[in-house]
Amino acid sequence: MSDLLYHPTWSAARERLTTWWQGGDLGRPAMQITVPRAEPWEDIEVLPEPEGWVTHYSTRSLEYRVNLARRNCLYTTYLAEAVPYAAPGDLGPGERGGLRPGRCGRPRLAVPGLPGSRDAGDHLV
């Protein structure tokens, strides 16, 4: 697997996370380290807020939510086991989606036996 744009050593981090989730020993704690960047990783066009967008969460436009999530990661480098993550498709009742300006969402990983928990592999790709 290739590395991610925002995580320069993603391949190694994914291997460590897989080991950790399978109960293996990393020789240290799993760490989520993020570092601010002065320059963005890439240029992403800013879309206008959709009509009816009144907070930092709305179900009005999936396209806008995806754009917002991508732009929120532009000024962060992800190191160790930190993973850029957003959930723009969480549009059901009771879902918050974790999208707030200035922050990229944190990873949501599976918790064995927890109802509604997702498989870690689905979110670490």
Q: Where are the domains of the chain?
A: 1-24+31-125
* pLDDT at 22 (0 to 100): 95
Q: Which residues pair with 36 in a beta bridge?
A: 76
Rounded to whole angstroms, the Cα distance separating 62 from 99 reads 12
* pLDDT at 70 (0 to 100): 84
pLDDT higher at 123 or 17: 17
Query: Could you write out the three-class secondary structure of 56-111?
Result: CCCCCCHHHHHHHHHHHCCCEEEEECCCCCCCCCCCCCCCCCCCECCECCCCCCCC
* pLDDT at 110 (0 to 100): 40
Taking residues 63-89, report their average pLDDT: 83
Rounded to whole angstroms, the Cα distance separating 18 from 13 reads 9
Tokens of 58: 């709305």
The tens digit of pLDDT for each residue in 4-61 reads 888 888 899 999 999 999 999 999 999 999 999 899 999 999 988 888 777 766 677 8
Taking residues 84-105, report their average pLDDT: 53
* pLDDT at 119 (0 to 100): 44
Tokens of 3: 């590395």
The tens digit of pLDDT for each residue in 98-113 reads 443 334 544 444 444 4
pLDDT higher at 84 or 96: 84
Rounded to whole angstroms, the Cα distance separating 12 from 122 reads 17
* pLDDT at 91 (0 to 100): 55
